Structure 1
């Protein structure tokens, strides 16, 4: 086979050596122009965000409060007014609010351009209260004791821990601990049917398996443990309809309920 000609070898060498010098210079000039454009556009942007007085934190808006006041939330948030809005540490604000105001369950901290910080608060809701002296400790649906108030919130049952230090109750206390038993009481309170919950005065805990309700008019309910709450709620509703005059109801075993008294 005949070898390639000198002209063909020259063409291949030119192809492998890259674009011609004119094209290469044009490409470099384009890159240089783009870099200059980014520099001239970037400097004003950085100055606008960090150096100018146009985009600074000047006011704080608060939403979602029920018991807390917006003023309390603003004070605890301690937003650095006058600071460039972009450099405000929203995570630090959230941490301060959670630490200073345990009533807050969640808070969403947002920048509201051009001058604001928004604080959207969700407060904890008490499902039980614990009487302590002349005051009341509020307990939320996770068993967290988050606030002490001088007046009991309306419609919230009182939690009574009557934990014996002997016998099976003592074994239950050693096994589960008081905090777990409080969470079980919360679990029961959340499962109580709405119509019964409105009439529930006290949730009493003697052990893990011995939780009972005290209702208005001297009526009582043996609930047992916090397990099978939905089944117990349905059974209790049916039992109360079947025996409206009863004074005591037992749904600790929902498949074998009982009522007594009149």
Structure 2
């Protein structure tokens, strides 16, 4: 039997040895994927250790900003930040809730991580717009009607709130309908409506009923305000009326389109 011809032998020598190209490509891709997955696992483990196990990213200091009446020490104590814990594990929402509960004077607080080792407490305190005298002390009321603190000395420039609701007649019906908290909010709305010059002179905001609110100003002057409705218009009318009648002692802006003033 004759052997392979010279042409057949040459063809066999030209055939590639080893696995076909497509198989080699799949094998290379598989190796690349294995290397990438291994690298990601190692990076994740390293990052986890750095964030949770390393001493380099643990809480060492707590800073406080924005306080006016409160002291930074009071805020830090109420916040009770877990110093020494991994910074990443600090529950900022829980700290915010704790501060609001422990310190009602705080209106808003932002707890931020200050990498690599700090926690920042950015505080906004409530500002009193009215005071309620009680037992020789003063309860501060903010611009939302929230009674947030009791102080022994009245803050300068903040008027007193007097609730003198009658227990009979229409005033009593108003009190039953709206409740004391609602009447306090109405007084707050009036205080917020006052022009700056009038607000500085206001000493007392009196509430007899929902639609019977009045002001006592410095120098014995009084203002019949009515309800808190149309407050901005009443404020503008009162400022113009006081300018037009500087000697007047009593002003009525309960109907801002028909104001009145008198000297007695």
Aligned to 2:10: none
Q: Aligned partners of 1:64, 1:138: CA distance in 2, in Å?
A: 19
Partner of 1:75: 77
Q: Which runs of 5+ in 1 are unaligned?
A: 1-18
Larger Rg: 2
Partner residue in 2 for 1:135: 137
Offset, 1:241: 0.9
SS of residue matched to 2:176: helix
Counterpart of 1:84 in structure 2 is: 86
Counterpart residue number, 2:98: 96
Q: Counterpart of 1:235?
A: 237
State the partner residue of 1:11: none
Aligned to 1:15: none
Structure 1 segments (4+ residues) deviating >4 Å: none
2:153 aligned residue: 151
Q: Gaps spanning 5+ residues in structure 2: where?
A: 1-20
- Provide the TM-score with structure 2 as the length reference: 0.91
- Count of aligned positions: 244
Q: Give me the whole-angstrom Cα distance separating, in 1, the residues matched to 2:41 and 2:54.
A: 18
Query: Could you say which residue in structure 2 is the equivalent of 1:49?
Result: 51
Shift of 1:125: 0.2
TM-score normalised according to structure 1 size: 0.91
**Secondary structure of the residue that 2:35 maps to in structure 1?**
helix
2:42 equivalent among 19, 22, 40: 40
- Residues 32-84 of structure 1, C-alpha deviation per residue, up to 9 Å, x if partnerless? 11101101211111111000110000110000000000000000000000000
Shift of 1:209: 0.3
Q: What is the distance in 2 between the residues matched to 1:123 and 1:83?
A: 28
2:214 partner SS: strand
5 Å-filtered alignment, 1:142-181, equals: 142-181=144-183
2-structure distance, mates of 1:171, 1:31: 79
